[in-house]
Amino acid sequence: MHRSTVLRFLTAGCLALAAFGVVPAHAQGERNFHADMAAEWETKYTESPAVGSADFHLDLATLTFTWKITFKDLTGPLVEAHVYGPAQPGANGQIMFDVGKKGATSPLTGSQVLTEAQVQYLLYGWTYVNLITAKYPHGEIRGQLDVVPPADLKPPA
């Protein structure tokens, strides 16, 4: 699917919902995503006290994806941090892009321009963030990205 097709589809859907008062005008060109991260969501057994939280913002006009990821109590320094997809909860995907480099500390921040496929994976809920340490090369803490509904989302009357 071409970028213009994806954007037209998303825009048309948002405009239809906005017409019914479901989506506020300010939220039509953006989406927010969140993941709580813990060892229990890794696909291989991981015993770690670490926890984290990942917040992402997608600008649909530019496909720019920005993030802030906080974490604590990793068993060692961060080796890698990535967003993976496509993968439903409990499954493994491929690295889509880096969100942190070796030795980085909390919080991790940055941005990336996404492809059309990456946007689709996000909207389907088929992406996750994974933080990797030397002790856990498959990942120490992981969290599936979920769309965050706008705070002022109102159901139709």
pLDDT in tens, 33-54: 999 999 999 999 999 999 999 9
Q: Do 15 and 28 meet the contact criterion of CB atoms below 8 Å apart?
A: yes
Contact 55, 143 (CB under 8 A): no
Backbone angles phi, psi at 118, to 5 degrees: -60, -40
CA distance 153 to 120: 22
Q: How far, in Å, are 37, 102, 106, 144 from residue 86 at the CA level?
A: 18, 24, 26, 11
Domain 29-148 has CATH 2.40.40: no
What's the pLDDT tens digit per position in 120-156? Answer: 999 999 999 999 999 999 999 999 999 998 776 666 6
